[in-house]
Amino acid sequence: MKYRYLGRSGLLVSRLCLGTMTFGNADWGCDQDDADAIIRTFIEGGGNFIDTADGYSGGESEKMLGKALEAYSRDDLVIATKCWFPSGKAVTARGLSRKHIVEACESSLKRMGLDYIDLYQFHGPDPYTPLAETLRAAEDLIRSGKVRYIGCSNFYGWQISKANAIADARDYEPLVSAQHLYNLVRRDIEREILPACADSGLGMICWSPLAAGMLSGKYRNMDKPDASSRLGLQAAVTLPRYWFDDALAMIEKLVAVADRLGKTPSQVALSWLFGDRRITSAIIGARNAQQIEENLVAGDFDLPQEAYNELSEAMPLKLGYPFEWTENQFKSTFGKAEFEPDHTVQLP
């Protein structure tokens, strides 16, 4: 397993992060015995980074994770969780207010049986709570020793930049990570979010790196996914997100590249992510330990540059405006220096 620093922090995490959304899920998840086996396989494979959330299976995921972690040295692992989703019937039990963040953190610690959380993440943006209030609540948790680092998930690029500008101005601890949807068929974050993260010092943690299983190749030659599969059970969300002609063509290209390299489509799809050094880690979930074993290969497998380029060019992202304008104008305006200075801003 290879490791990368999480943003501009000094925290080293494994390139693969174990996602625990399956823990306790009645429809497409696993029970405690399978969860124990999954975690054992992941840790024995060199993984040190595990992600959960208080919204997964109504908190059951955190409970199962905590029980499984009793067999391991806590300080050897990086445990991440999140708050934002409703955690109770009270109107205050949601969002990113100071009240909810503090209460949600205490509840997560209790469910997992832990004294501290390594990475506490805001699961989504809150349009009603000022970012300064959210960041101050997180700062208090850090100063109390209950949280080590903070991150965000599903934020817009401007919110990421604004949050760390506030943190810098008020001497708060900054966001060190963002967790967003990113894979070979959904590359939206390349437009604004990845550049914002790079500029503000955040590492990117990719969720759904296999497009809900589509990039495993198991749905090839189907008119629609099996109704009992995860993709089928969540069809209202997953089909508009992943099931379209260009995505299906990408899967054929992915399978061809994987066959040529002697790897599985999942291993290649995961490895493709790490060709971009702005990506810190990719979240892999599983219903059983065997699925984890296959994907762990991507923890230290680097995709050859030729294959990386081939896949990237197979379904290029349309970056749109203003990138089209800058791409046209920069060539005649700049490029007069002997070499690119170190402080050059990376545009999409």
Would you name the residues annotated as active-site residues? 56
CA distance 44 to 289: 11
CA distance 201 to 174: 9
Pairing mode, if any, of strands 175-181 and 279-284? unpaired
Angle among Cα 97, 98, 104 to the nearest 5 degrees reads: 85
CB contact at 8 A, 56 and 22: no
Pairing mode, if any, of strands 147-153 and 12-14? unpaired
DSSP 238-254: HHHHH-SHHHHHHHHHH
CB contact at 8 A, 125 and 159: yes
CA distance 46 to 188: 30
CA distance 37 to 113: 19
DSSP 191-241: TTHHHHHHHHTPEEEEESTTGGGGGGTTTTT-SS--TTSHHHHTHHHHHHH
